[in-house]
Amino acid sequence: MSDAMDLLRSVKDQTDETEFYTPLPDGYTLGSTRYVAVFGTVISGLGKGIFSSSLAKLLKDKGLRVSPIKLEGYLNFDSGTLNPFRHGEVFVLDDGMESDMDLGTYERMLDQDLTGANFATSGQIFQAVLSKERAGGYLGRDVQMIPHVTGEVKLRLRTLAVKTRADVVFVEVGGTVGDIENAFYIEALRELSYEEGPGKVAFMALTYVLSPPALGEQKSKAAQLGIRRLMEYGIHPHVIAVRAEKPVTTKVRQKLSVYTNVPVGRVFSMHDLPSIYLLPELMREEGLDSEVVELLGLGGRVNSAHEFKAAGAWARFTSTIGSERHEVRIGITGKYTALRDSYASILKALEHAGVAHDTRVHVEWIDTTDVTDDNVAAGLAGVDAIIVPGGFGTRGTAGKIACIRHARANRLPYLGICLGFQMAVIEFARNVCSLAGAASTEMDPDCEHPVISILPEQKQIEGLGGNMRLGGQDVDLTEGSLAAELYGTTKIRQRFRHRYEVDPRYIETLQAGGMIFSGRHPVHPIMQVLELPRDIHPYFIGGQFHPELTSRPLRPAPMFHGLVRAALERAGARA
């Protein structure tokens, strides 16, 4: 039993007589849960989420119960207001939390749904501390970064452990060591390691090895200094993952080992791979998962039979990556095409569906800002299908409508997501139903035919007010429809992130023109899936939801699976 545990037991309630403040959730036992904390050094964007989720997957494969949490340094309460150009896509969880895109990586790697408990920002932490202070929760003490803010961080981690009954909680600290905004997270994890006791917390440091072309060799000095900065915080890493373009040389791994007291066997080369889904197998081959199990004393909880089965399923999934027998080209038409992370989940959903069809999906990026009716045919020449993804605002919408019209008229396989669903309704209303003034009140509040709008009764029904409809919602599919065929059922649950809907006053007109609303809200007149008859178009479908958010490597999103299949058929016909 550590000194810290003895002290914590004696100071359960904070008083003026002690400087300890570590609130524990009901049902939590110190030392029972293990923690893996992942930090980034040198530069941002090293792939902490990819590393952490891959390692977490390997421990889950062993039969351990794992739960990740991303700690973000920014003061926003969530990721909902962040510009995709600055921070990548907003990943919506089933409970409606708008989170960082790394949560999508965790969900896909672990094949498990996460909640708001798996995501925290500085804004959330500070709000919780100030709310407690206003309620007198600190018994008149002056509220400080240490111990109160760090105590709140530790409480979040331990509450997650209790809620999910996790054997191991994976903690990813956003940003780079040395950033002001994440320093209190690092301190909280140092305290956590002390309080939980030896062998209960493993620290992982990601770093970056430079390869200047003029020198022709890998240079490790920046990596050494970055890890030194972490050690100055009192964090001594147990494992170092080294990002590099090519495999890290033995010489560099030895240098980092000597500099940090980390055994060479725990200095892992995390070099570039054709797919992130190859990383877990590389880790397994290097024995990194076994090292972590040993570090955390989890050998007695490992289920070897479960690991054998899980590893085999994953190996079958990855076996065709890089050697696919077929190829298709799919256009993504949007306004954030300059930053690929804006559509990270769509790219992964395409990869999942491509692997299922033994097909390499080549993505063509089409900025709809510059697309018109006059140049759309040239812009879409050579693609076998298109996706119009979600988005907000007016810019690029005219180009999206032009792309949709071209796809509809030329039997080009089409998938509309959220805004892409709405734009398909507008295009159909204008060009098939002869409603020349059809538009969305988001773009044109005074349009003649607001086929997409926010209705007062819908606000009242959903209790949304001016906010978005967020998170998981049930969808009823029409029996015999393309959508029901894709999903294999008439009852599905999907994730939404939108304010505007199809105006019920126009549904009859749209249906008379030939549009099928094959997915609806179970109770209210909210249209959630549209499609065209298959004798008119081989594959034209749209969802008001985001199907990409629930796509998993071993279970591709049905709408993407169908799109790749339709693209293959078109590519074959063209050949």
Residues with active-site annotation: 418, 546, 548
- Residue 175 Rama label (left phi>0; alpha psi -120 to 50; beta): left
CA distances 128 to 55, 121, 124, 542, Å, are 31, 11, 6, 40
Question: What residue has token string 């929760």?
Answer: 137
Half-sphere exposure of 571 (CA within 13 A, CB side): 20
Q: Which long-range contacts (CB under 8 A, 24 or more apart) does 179-183 make?
A: 179/73, 181/73, 181/74, 181/75, 181/122, 182/71, 182/73, 183/233
Give 490: exposed, middle or buried? Use CB within 10 Å, 0-12, 13-18, 19+: middle
- Residue 234 Rama label (left phi>0; alpha psi -120 to 50; beta): left
Phi then psi for residue 219, to 5 deg, are -115, 130
Greatest Cα pair distance, the chain, in angstroms, is 81
Question: What residue has token string 């708001």?
Answer: 116
Question: What residue has token string 């969802």?
Answer: 543
Give 214: exposed, middle or buried? Use CB within 10 Å, 0-12, 13-18, 19+: exposed
Question: Which helix (H) or strand (E) element contains residue 36?
Answer: strand 34-40
Please give the Cα distance from 452 to 449 (Å, whole number).
9
